[in-house]
Structure 1
Amino acid sequence: MRTERNLTRLDRVFARLDREPERPAHIDVPKMSRHRVVLFTATLAFYLAIVWAVVITSWLVRLDWQVMFFRPYQQWAGIHWFVDYYVVLGQRGPTAVMVAAWLGWRSWRQHTLRPLLTLGASLLLLNITVGAAKLGMGRLGPHYATVIGSNEMGLGGDIFPSGHTANAVVTWGILAYLASTPRARRWLSAASAVTSLGVGMSTVYLGTHWLSDVLLGWAAGLLILLALPWCEPFIARAETALFDLRDRWRDRLGSTAPAPVPVPVLLKPRPASVEQTTPEREPVSLAHSPRAPIHLAPGPHTARSERTPVTPAGSRRPPHPERQPRGTAAQAARPVTGG
């Protein structure tokens, strides 16, 4: 009897992925084309221009202060409740969970880990680049501004660039980047652009970010999306390494699994046939034979089937003194014929 190891949930996931180990042919991986390189260079130049304009306290900083004094949350107070909910689309935790759930289903259907690994790589780049820029420039937000007209740089803040805007660009833009068809990529690109634009303007409406923070957040998120094709070789290597690690882990578990214990098979007793005779008993020595009961006569006893039948001679009736034998009286009463 063979005993099989119970499959865990991770084994079932990898077994599903093993059905088609190679990436489907209709899903293309974006390349770092010349057009993309031009867009990346232009976006990087825009990024550096925004930073320089804020550092030198140019017209962009004056525009930031004008928007802050306008106080949009007081001018259009009726939509405040909607903006409070809409800005959640730029928070890293909820958006990462929603997009990861969708890409996890995509990975399950397409039998590849590339969607989830691409999301992880983009979020890692987002945390490194945007986090480093926030800590490096140290700009304070509108609610914590100290001097009117200043750029509020280097004061220990973490507001520049806008993390909500950059996260919205990357998280929703990754869906367009991983789209299977050009048409789906165009529609998802437009939807992600509108969503990230709305998230950025929501932060300006609530007064949590300067307008220049939002512009730099858009540029930071777009730079990450444009640079993802450079990360594709590393994503492919990571996927291969994960599958190799899975195979080694499965082989090690298979080698350390205990050998199956053979279970004895109980034979079903055959019914005794009619012609089968009772087996003879082994003779028992006299020294260990039990003592004969008192009511039996001493000596060997034979079975009834081994005894010689005895036929009694004569009549079984007891003798009677007055009874005569049959035939004697009949002969005396019979008349004598002749002469």
Structure 2
Amino acid sequence: MRTDIFARLDREPEPPKIEPPRMSRHRIALFGGTLAFYLAIVIAVLIGSWLVTLDWKVMLFRPYQQWPGIHAFLDYYVVLGQRGPTAVMVACWLGWRSWRQHTLRPLLTLGASLLLLNLTVGAVKLGLGRLGPHYATQIGSAELFAGGDIFPSGHTANAVVTWGILAYLATTPRARRYLSAISAVVSLGVGLTTVYLGTHWLSDVLLGWAAGLLILLGLPWVEPLITRAEDWIFAVREQWRARGRAVPSVPVAAGGPRTVLVPQRAGADAADEDPALEPVAAGSRTAAAAAAAGARPRAHTVRSERTPITPAGSRRPPHADRTPRGGTSPARPVSGG
């Protein structure tokens, strides 16, 4: 009786699957409001408004010097927003779910969201080129188009998308509510931690939250592509399986004899093979005689069970001066008296 964890999981019922979210009016309204907030932050930074002044005030306040006791903890906590470790952790969990539910949708959704994150956030980062607080050159300046890559905050946007995807793929409404709250707390904490450490401006974090939320809200538009990609992957897998089960056949010229190959024993037993086991051309006299007599290849026997065969006669070559054993020898001449 199996008592391991896999046996128990096999007996557990599968949780009910929730249909992928659709772009309802409520979701479209949230998407539009988040997009307006995103554009407002970008414009506020471009024109050097009060938001840039707030950035400098927070930066000069230096939170990491005001509360040094939590610095060590926040150095580890901010890892929850790094793309590599978080993507590996979430991919392991979603891979387990994909195996349990026999679907690739969780992994494909994670891959699509991270791809959108890299394209959108990366393009804005490189396009605006804002420098971070530690590399700022002029007090009160927005530090744009200076070769930087921190606006919006990648840590914050990645935390929103990576942990929010768990709530997006939840299989029950209760799990979706709990995971939404957990992902919101983690992403808020990661964003504020970057401000505490002085690696990002406050406006970077605000734009990172908006960027990650836009990706999560817009994922239903990508669901048809995810479904098509999953169908294509399963179709390719079935083709490879069918190709592996197919038996290769040898092409034969039209009208020519077909060769029937019979397996032969290798090694020292090859000398004891029956001529009937040799390749026989269909239509020949040997094949016709074997078919008429109903001949079958003899069964292979173990060497110890075979009857020893003694060759008839002597193996010695004939000699003119020798007489066969058992014959009458000629008289020898007698010499002397």
Tell me the TM-score range normalised by the shorter chain: 0.7 to 0.9
- 1:253-296 per-position Cα deviation (integer Å, ceiling 9, x unaligned): 44486999846651469989xxxxxx9x9999xxx899655775
Are 2:93 and 1:102 equivalent residues in the alignment?
A: yes
- Structure 2 distance, partners of 1:156, 1:178, is 37
Q: Given residue 44 of structure 1, which amino acid in structure 2 is its aligned partner?
A: L
1:186 pairs with 165, 168, 177, which one? Answer: 177
1:267/1:192 CA distance change after superposition, 3 Å: same
1:242/1:263 CA distance change after superposition, 3 Å: farther
- Structure 1 distance, partners of 2:48, 2:325, is 132
- Structure 2 distance, partners of 1:255, 1:24, is 37
Are 2:204 and 1:213 equivalent residues in the alignment?
A: yes
Q: Say which is worse superposed, 27-36 or 119-128, in terms of deviation.
A: 27-36
CA RMSD of aligned residues (A): 3.3
Are 2:161 and 1:127 equivalent residues in the alignment?
A: no
Name the residue aligned to 2:80: 89
- Structure 2 distance, partners of 1:295, 1:261, is 48
Aligned-partner SS, 2:156: helix
- Structure 1 distance, partners of 2:167, 2:180, is 5
1:258/1:148 CA distance change after superposition, 3 Å: farther
1:157/1:25 CA distance change after superposition, 3 Å: same
Give 1:245 deviation, angstroms.
Answer: 1.5
1:83/1:266 CA distance change after superposition, 3 Å: same
Are 2:47 and 1:56 equivalent residues in the alignment?
A: yes
Give 1:243 deviation, angstroms.
Answer: 1.1
Task: Report the TM-score when normalising by structure 2.
Answer: 0.72
Name the residue aligned to 2:8: none
Q: Given residue 152 of structure 2, which amino acid in structure 1 is its aligned partner?
A: P
2:215 pairs with 224, 227, 239, which one? Answer: 224
Are 2:191 and 1:200 equivalent residues in the alignment?
A: yes
- Structure 2 distance, partners of 1:243, 1:211, is 45
Give 1:156 deviation, angstroms.
Answer: 1.2
1:44/1:295 CA distance change after superposition, 3 Å: closer
Q: Is the 8 A contact 1:160 1:213 kept in 2?
A: yes
Name the residue aligned to 2:3: none
1:266 pairs with 285, 300, 307, which one? Answer: 300
Name the residue aligned to 1:33: 24
Structure showing greater radius of gyration is 1
Task: Report the TM-score when normalising by structure 1.
Answer: 0.72
- Structure 2 distance, partners of 1:256, 1:105, is 34
Q: Given residue 63 of structure 2, which amino acid in structure 1 is its aligned partner?
A: P
Name the residue aligned to 1:275: none
Q: Given residue 112 of structure 1, which amino acid in structure 2 is its aligned partner?
A: T
Q: Is the 8 A contact 2:18 2:171 kept in 1?
A: yes
Aligned-partner SS, 2:152: coil
- Structure 2 distance, partners of 1:226, 1:83, is 29
- Structure 1 distance, partners of 2:262, 2:155, is 60
Q: Is the 8 A contact 2:157 2:212 kept in 1?
A: yes
Name the residue aligned to 2:130: 139
Q: Say which is worse superposed, 240-249 or 128-137, in terms of deviation.
A: 240-249
- Structure 2 distance, partners of 1:46, 1:140, is 22
Aligned-partner SS, 1:208: coil
Give 1:137 deviation, angstroms.
Answer: 0.8
1:147/1:270 CA distance change after superposition, 3 Å: closer
Give 1:247 deviation, angstroms.
Answer: 2.2
1:171 pairs with 152, 162, 167, which one? Answer: 162
- Structure 1 distance, partners of 2:74, 2:248, is 57
Q: Given residue 72 of structure 2, which amino acid in structure 1 is its aligned partner?
A: W
Q: Say which is worse superposed, 26-35 or 221-230, in terms of deviation.
A: 26-35
- Structure 2 distance, partners of 1:202, 1:258, is 66
For these two proteins, the number of residue pairs brought into alignment is: 271
- 1:18-48 per-position Cα deviation (integer Å, ceiling 9, x unaligned): xxxxx98633211111111111000000000
1:121/1:267 CA distance change after superposition, 3 Å: same
Give 1:194 deviation, angstroms.
Answer: 0.2
Q: Given residue 122 of structure 1, which amino acid in structure 2 is its aligned partner?
A: S
% identity of equivalent residues: 71
1:64/1:294 CA distance change after superposition, 3 Å: closer
- 1:167-197 per-position Cα deviation (integer Å, ceiling 9, x unaligned): 0000000000000001100100000000000
Give 1:252 deviation, angstroms.
Answer: 3.5
